[in-house]
Amino acid sequence: MLWTTILLALREIKRNVMRSFLTILGIVIGVGAVITLVTIGGGATAQVQQQIASMGSNVLIVTPGKRLGPGQSSNTPLFKVSDAEAILRQVTSIAAVAPVSSQSIQAVLGNENWSTSVTGSDNEFFRVTNRSIRTGRQFSDSELRGGAAVCIVGETVCKKLFGGQASLGGNIRLEKLSCQVIGILEAKGQNTMGMDQDDIVVIPLRTYQRRISGNQDVARFQISVQQGASTEKAQQDIRLLMRERRHLSPSDDDNFNVMDMKEIANMLTGTTQLLTALLSAVAAVSLLVGGIGIMNIMLVSVTERTREIGIRLAIGALESEVLMQFLVEAVVLSSLGGLIGIVAALAGSVWLASVLRVPFVLNAGIVVIAFLFSAAVGVIFGYFPALKAARLDPIEALRYE
Amino acid sequence: MSMMAINHTDNPPLIELQGVTKVYGTGQAAMHALRGIDLRIDEGEFVAVMGPSGSGKSTCMNILGCLDTPTGGAYHFKGIEVGKLTRTQRTRLRRFYLGFVFQGYNLLNRTSALENVELPLIYRRVPASVRRARALKTLETVGLTGWESHTPSELSGGQQQRVAIARAIVTEPAVLFADEPTGNLDTARSREIMDLLSGLNQDPGITIVMVTHEQDMAAYAKRIVHFLDGLVALDKQNGRAT
């Protein structure tokens, strides 16, 4: 009997293909949007987690200034190379400290030019940021000490300037500095904030200080904590040491900041997940709107088919059978919307994932939930019109023109 | 069927109305459609119900067809008091014992003749194969072999009414109620329908209660009941007054 009712519902839907399609469009969009958002959001979260793993273990970043955000005084003293040496010497759980300064500079090679991030640091930079040299070599001690005009370039810069053909020994120009390319970094992709980590030129810190910034300051330290050591403990030790070196009295606030990269990354993961949840909730509202659309059309359908309902009731259809007929029709409609939505969402997610360059992580749970939800929308919003049909007086219904 | 009824005289009559009244509305606006009807119809009868508009014949038909309940008095169908049944119980009564033919045919649009005839069997949970066979056989009875797959819009009025009659009798009902079955048809088509009904009354002996306002059509019946102002004015057997 249920199968007969479903077939009847399908036939009724087929009779008004255009109207049926427009009716379920809301459900299609709702289901499609929820699944797409959750899939892309899941991909983004997976990507962030992947990046946390690739970022290298236990990375701390020390920056001058009170904390992230506005309200920083401009006369905060910057760091010196000696601060980095002191940290490495006095904080026992530290594995490596890389003093880092960077700024955006136009790199030029022949007719090609490309604005990139020029970073001054030493070989510890590669260790702390968990990067390796694909071709060429690291800086030599004499190059670091003497501030030689040499550089190691990232994949993106390599592509933009050399057109993909890695050529060691060539010279690129950074403002007034012409430096020889001695190495090319292994590609690393985007970082947690979506920045291209391969859009980089690394030069010795001394070269940077002499030829680019023109002072002895260091913008930040990137520090990696020893495997198995407590990051919190290291963070605390660095803080105390830096307070001492910067001559802060106990009543003063820190005029520098020690951040754990993992904390930032976790915060970003949390933000991504929250955003996904919020957007999905907004999308779910359109499921509700879609349900109202179904109720509207079912009410119209009941009115249009008053005579048919009268015939069925007179012939011996029970109230419950008429109710079932219209309820099944509403559920078949909304489920059909759900199915189309799922197919659209899968196609859309695969496409969006490739465009946004996030991994395609399909959450089977959300597909099942979205489908059940669409069917539930049919039950909830189809019930009232179905009840209206079942409650019709057969005599009145048969007289209806 | 009719033979059995005669042999068992202690059986309750098929249809018995006792002082049945029907009032629509209340107070000043109350409309007394039926003012006390006493009527008994036995199995095998072919009754024509006549009367002017507003005489209460349609109201009476609705009550007889278990589509409506009386305000006062009692309606016994096979000894069951219909007025005391719930809506669902009355529906079951219609499903298993009654057949309906309407003036406007009332077939399902865009649905084939065969499927229209199958409809009441679906509600009786008759298995699909049996259903099909019975519907085909009944369509043959009403002379529509070869028209099974046509939809109502592809059939003439007379053919549509034949489908409606097939739908009403496919369940082998105890009573067939026909409300002005020839009202929309020309004389020739009307006579064909009346011949068909008359034949069904003789074999397999279906009890027929038919509303009509045409004397010619009423002549096919074995008994004629005249309604006037909510009362039975005249009840006569095939031309002979009682």
- pLDDT one-digit tens code per residue, B22-78: 999 888 888 999 999 999 999 999 999 999 988 999 999 999 999 999 999 999 999
Q: What is the pLDDT of residue A45?
A: 84
Chain B neighbours among A 299-328 (CB < 8 Å)?
307-308, 310-321
Reported as type and span, the H/E element at residue A49 is: helix A17-54
Mean pLDDT, residues A238-256 = 87
Reported as type and span, the H/E element at residue B234 is: strand B231-237
Domains and CATH numbers, chain B: 44-69+93-241 (3.40.50.300)
- Nearest residue, CB atoms, B120 vs list A315, A318, A320: A315
The token pair at B46 is: 């072919």
Q: What is the pLDDT of residue A197?
A: 82
Reported as type and span, the H/E element at residue A101 is: strand A94-109
pLDDT tier at B5, thresholds 50, 70, 90: very low
Helices A319-356 & A2-15 angle (0-180, nearest 10)? 60
Q: What is the pLDDT of residue B135?
A: 96
Residue that the structure tokens 């009847």 belong to: A8
Question: Which residues does B95 contact at the CB level (< 8 Å), separation at least 6?
Answer: A315, A316, A317, B120, B123, B124, B171
The token pair at A215 is: 């002072």
Q: What is the pLDDT of residue A268?
A: 79
Q: Is A399 on the interface with B (CB under 8 A)?
A: no
pLDDT tier at B101, thresholds 50, 70, 90: very high
Residue of B nearest to A1 (CA): B125
How would you list the strands of the sheet with B31-41, edge to edge?
B31-41, B15-24, B72-77, B80-81
Chain A neighbours among B 77-106 (CB < 8 Å)?
87-88, 91-92, 94-96, 98, 100, 102, 106
| Residues of chain A found within 8 Å of residue B125, distances taken between Cβ atoms | 1
Are B49 and B209 in contact by the 8 Å Cβ rule? The answer is yes
Are A382 and A301 in contact by the 8 Å Cβ rule? The answer is no
Summarize pLDDT for A280-301 with one digit per residue, the tens.
888 888 888 889 999 999 999 9
Picking from A66-70, A257-261, A328-332, A365-369, which range would have the lowest pLDDT averaged per residue? A66-70
Closest CA–CA distance from residue A318 to any residue of chain B (Å): 6
Q: Is B110 on the interface with A (CB under 8 A)?
A: yes
Closest CA–CA distance from residue A311 to any residue of chain B (Å): 7
Largest CA distance in chain A: 104
Q: What is the pLDDT of residue A302?
A: 93
Residue B85 has pLDDT above 60, yes or no: yes
Q: Is B145 helix (H, G, I), strand (E, B) or coil?
A: coil
Q: What is the CA radius of gyration of chain A?
A: 33
Mean pLDDT, residues A357-361 = 85
**Amino acid at the residue A232:** E
Q: Is B213 helix (H, G, I), strand (E, B) or coil?
A: coil
Q: What is the pLDDT of residue B4?
A: 42
Q: What is the pLDDT of residue A288?
A: 87
d(CA A112, CA A114): 7
Q: What is the pLDDT of residue A399?
A: 87
Picking from A112-126, A185-199, A234-248, B140-154, which range would have the lowest pLDDT averaged per residue? A185-199
**What count of CB pairs under 8 Å joins A to B?**
54
Q: What is the pLDDT of residue B241?
A: 41
Residue of A nearest to B128 (CA): A4
pLDDT tier at A388, thresholds 50, 70, 90: very high
Q: What is the pLDDT of residue A193?
A: 63
**Interface mutation vs chain B, best among A1, A8, A311, most B CBs within 10 Å:** A311
| Residues of chain A found within 8 Å of residue B100, distances taken between Cβ atoms | 314-315
Residue of B nearest to A322 (CA): B123
Q: What is the pLDDT of residue A333?
A: 93
- State the average pLDDT for chain A: 87
Beta bridge partners of B28: none
| Residues of chain B found within 8 Å of residue A310, distances taken between Cβ atoms | 106
Q: What is the 3-state secondary structure (H, E, C) of A119-164?
A: EEECCHHHHHCCCCEEEECCCCHHHHHHCCCEEEECHHHHHHHHCC
Q: Is B186 helix (H, G, I), strand (E, B) or coil?
A: coil
Residue of B nearest to A317 (CA): B123
- Nearest residue, CB atoms, A316 vs list B62, B102, B120: B120
% of chain A at pLDDT higher than 70: 95
pLDDT tier at A71, thresholds 50, 70, 90: low
ipTM of predicted complex: 0.90
Q: Is A395 on the interface with B (CB under 8 A)?
A: yes
Question: Which residues does A74 contact at the CB level (< 8 Å), separation at least 6?
Answer: none
Summarize pLDDT for A91-146 with one digit per residue, the tens.
888 889 999 998 988 888 888 888 888 999 999 898 888 888 888 899 999 999 88
